Amino acid sequence: MTASATIRAAHFIDGRARDGDGASIDVLNPATEQPLGSVPAGSRADAEEAVAAARRAFGEWAARPAAERAEIVRRIAEGITARRDSLAEVITADVGAPITFATKVQASLPAATSKAVADLVTSGEFAFTEEIGNSLVEREPVGVVAAITPWNYPMHQIMAKLAPALVTGCTVVLKPSEVAPLCTDQLVEVLTEAGVPPGVVNIVHGTGDEVGAALAAHADVDMVSFTGSTRGGRAVSAAAADTVKRVTLELGGKSANVILGDADLTKAVKLGVANAFLNGGQSCNAWTRMLVPRSQHDDAVTLACEAAAKYQPADPADEGTRLGPMVSELQRDTVVGYIRSGVEAGARLAYGGPEKPDGHDTGYFVRPTVFADVTPEMTIAKDEIFGPVLSVMPYDDTGGTDDDAVRIANGTVYGLAGAVFSASDERALSVARRMRTGQVDINGASFNPKAPFGGYKQSGNGREFGSYGIEEFCEIKSIQR
């Protein structure tokens, strides 16, 4: 598979590829602006057919032993691993993620998190039954799940929903983002080879307004698991309300990287910039607000600019590239608009800017950008930009407290992720516990595929990964005896 190949990813309903009624959605390579492939423009009728297939398959799949379902999920993980390089090439061409990052993360993480889910079930660490006094408590599959996934980590976000849904005994209708859907062509091969029965996993391509809305409102869908924008999450919740189905939402973020006065500033800034610019900044958990003591603000800005200079926009297919294009023209224009708004609001443009990067008249590239002297009321400090834009924000640490840093960190409508850097583990942990956010990394701690991921406030509800992610797809039954 090469970035220049043309891919046609079809619907996958009841174990068979379907091409819809002939209408298509074209997919562009964001680095070249050239056609990369297409998917059918799904309709409500396609969604209806997929839900019906999932409903028919539910009883038999739910009745299978959990260990057998987990073994199939493990085989899915193995299939993804076997296709790692070809999946990475497709994701690089589809999303614009640099190929090295696409290989190590985009095409590898889905296998790791899926295997972790399967292992929890087969090891007995996740129990589907437990006894509490005279009650037998059983965890049963919630039913037919509509999984609506975004474009920024296409395979990763799909498997974050698919793996736990399958091990619990749920059947699934997947609606991937129409912006970057082409990895599903290989996913269908993986599912078939792993032995997933017809109807257990169905894929319907199309827009959120058409297919997503139909799935969210469908009376035979028992649960919607949605990852995307906060605006999209509100629409899904509203559509699902009439049928009172379960809805889990993993939405936007504006995460704070709190660098305390005793931290290793060089390390904290370097890791902070790397996280903020990861995947072109198109990550919901990116640390896009860097909070530093006022006395260290200018030093932090200098370090941030030095780090940002290493993220020059370049061909994402080149193994040395750190920063590829934005996923689409719309996303590029949105990011550029935020950069302009930051300048207009009075933030100091320390690095980058809204102009096109040199040598990139073609492709949806933007300059890596660092703002200094950002205040909490500025739009760039409140809105999720979803691009390589970092806001360095000073806070007051006089009096020996971290109260001002915590206040600013908690001062947005979001609460998805965050970070704390300190020479004292006890102090860092104290600040982490005060942050109103679903996940906090201390001193650059590594990702844990068994730990829960999800948000507070308008970053959503529900959790993904590990036993917490499995729990979301279960109904709880209490039997007294």
Of the candidates 370, 348, 461, 458, the one whose C-alpha atom is nearest the C-alpha of residue 412 is 458
Token pair 């078939």 is found at 192
How is 40-63 classified by DSSP, letter by letter? Answer: E---HHHHHHHHHHHHHHHHHHHH
CA–CA separation, 255 vs 422, rounded Å?
17
- Rg of the Cα atoms in the chain: 22
> Mapped to the 3 state alphabet, what secondary structure does 226-241 carry?
EECCHHHHHHHHHHHH
Rounded to the nearest 5°, which phi and psi values hold at 308? -65, -30
Catalytic: 170?
no
Place of tokens 């650059």: 444
**208 secondary structure, DSSP code:** I
Residue 195: HSE in the Cβ half-sphere, 13 Å Cα cutoff: 10
Catalytic site residue 472? Answer: no
Q: Which helix (H) or strand (E) holds 37?
A: strand 35-40
Q: What angle do CA 123, 129, 135 make, to 5 degrees?
A: 150
The residue from 71, 178, 250, 384 that is catalytic is: 250
Length of the chain: 481
Which residue in 170, 284, 305, 474 is the catalytic one? 284
Terminal alpha carbon distance of the chain? 58
Active site residues: 250, 284
